[in-house]
Amino acid sequence: IILKLLWSQKMPGFELIGKEEIDEINHLFNESSILFRHSFDHLRNGIFKVNDFENAFSKRMNIPHSLGVTSGTAALRVALAALELEPDDEVITQSFTFVATVEAIIESRAVPVITNIDKTLNMDPDDLVKKITKKTKAIIVVHMLGVPCRLREIKKITDDNGILLIEDTAWGCGGFYEKKPLGTYGDIGTYSFDFAKTITTGEGGMVVFKEKSLYEKAAAWHDHGHENNPKLPRWEDSRSGSGFNYRMNEMQGAVGLAQLKKLDYVVERQRENGEIIKNILARYPIELRDVPDMSYETYDALVFFVSDNNVAIKCRKNLIDNGIGTKILPEAITWHFAGTWTHMPELGNGLEKKFLKSKQLLDRSVSIPISVNMADNFDKSIKSALDKVFL
C-alpha cells in the first residue's frame, strides 16, 4: 500500500525526467563544464544554460523578462526586493498558501497581512478590500493547487489602489487566465521548480516581470548587487545597492530547458485525468471548488467540499486505503493554513480565531492528487473509495 501510495503521489515534472534532461546535462559537461551562470567566457564555448532557460521561459510565458533563481521561496524574496520596501510597509497574501509566501514577506522586513479565502480556495477579493491600508505596497495572490485566483477582480482592486500585484504561481505553472499565462497577469510572477511542482530542476525558481526597471532591480539584488555592466569585467562591476545570492546554476538551467519543453504535455495529461475524476465526482452529494470563468487550470489536484470534517477524514481514509491518497487537504493543513502558524510571531496573537471563514472551508475540503501517470485503474479506486462514504 505504501509503495502504491508513493507512486500515486509522484509529481509530474519528476515523473518525466529522462533522456532529454540527461542530454542537456551531457551537453553542458561535454561542451563547457562551466557551472556558473556568469563569466568564464573563454572556457564555456558560448554555453549559457540559465540564460537560455530564462529566454525560453519568457517566450513560453509571453513576458519580456525572466530571472532564474534558486527556489520558489527565493523567487518571492527576490520579487519583493525589486519593490525596495520600507520596514513597516505591508504586503497582503492569503490564508491558504504554503508557509514560503509569508516567510518571504517576513524576510523582506515587511509586515505580512493575511486575507481569508473564498470557495476558489484562493484570495477573497471582498476581504482584500478590507485589509488594504495606506501602507499596503503589494498583494501576493496564490493559484493554489493549480486553480487561478479571481485575477480580474483582484487586479481591478490593485490598479484602483496603485498597489503592485504579484502572483505566486508555484502551483499554477502552465495554466492560463483570460488566455494569459498564469504569473503574467499582474506585475510580477514567481514560479517554483522544486521536486513537487509541475516542472522541476531539483530545486529552483523563476521570477517574471513586465517592467524592465523592476527586473533590473531584482536581477542585481539576487546577485550581491551586481549590475553586470557590459563595459566592465565582473570583478570591477558597478552596483547601486547591496543584495544577496539567489543565483540559479547551469545544471539547473540545463534541466529546466528540457523540463520546460514538457510543460504543456504535463498540463494536458493532468487536465485529462482531472476530467475523468470530475465525472466520477458527479455521482456524489459534494460541491466542487469554484473555478473563475476563463480559467485554464493545471489540475494539480481536484478539490471538493463535503458536509463536514468527519466526512472529509472518512474520504481521506478510504482514498488512502485504495492507494490514491489526498494532497494537503484535509491532512497537511498545518503547512498551508496561516490560522495554524503560531510559530510566526509576525502574524500576531489569536491566529486560531482570525480566519474562521477559511478554516470552515478547508476543514470540509478533500483534495485528490493528480499526476501524469496515475495509478492503474485509478478511476475505479476513487469510485470504490467514495462509494463507501456516500452510497
Cell of 47: 554555453
- Amino acid letter, residue 233: P
B/e letters for 217-255, b = 16+ CB within 10 Å, e = fewer, are: bbbbbbbeebeeeeeeeeeebeeeeebeebbbbbbbbbb
Q: How far is the CB of 57 from ligand PLP (least distance, A)?
A: 15
Strand partners, 367: 303
Q: Is residue 277 near ligand PLP by the rule CB under 6 A?
A: no
* Helix and strand counts by DSSP (H, E) for the chain: 14, 13
Nearest to 115 by CA among 136, 87, 145, 146: 136
What's the rounded Cα separation, in Å, for the pair 340 and 95? 10
Contact map string, positions 24 to 63, toward ligand PLP, x by CB under 6 A: ----------------------------------------
Q: Mask: binding to ligand PLP, 193-222, rule CB under 6 A, as x and -?
A: -x----------x-----------------
Task: In angstroms, give the least distance from the CB of 248 to ligand PLP.
Answer: 11
Decide: is 300 part of the binding site for ligand PLP (CB under 6 A). no
Q: Which is nearer to ligand PLP, 22 or 332 (CB)?
A: 332
Q: What residue number has its CB nearest to ligand PLP?
A: 72
Binding segment toward ligand PLP, per CB under 6 A, in 65-73, 215-223, 227-235, 243-251:
65-73
Q: Does 170 bind ligand PLP (CB under 6 A)?
A: yes
Q: What is the largest CA-CA distance in the chain?
A: 72
Q: Applying CB under 6 A, which of residues 58, 120, 192, 298 lies at the interface with ligand PLP?
A: 192
Collapse the DSSP code of 309 into the 3-class scheme (helix H, G, I; strand E, B; otherwise coil) and give the result.
helix
Omega before 330 cis (within 30°)? yes
**Would you count residue 97 as binding ligand PLP (CB under 6 A)?**
yes
101 versus 326: smaller Cβ distance to ligand PLP: 101
> Is 100 or 386 the residue whose CB approaches ligand PLP more closely?
100
Question: CA-based angle 280:282:285, to the nearest 5?
Answer: 120
Which residues 113-152 are close enough to bind ligand PLP by CB under 6 A?
Answer: 142
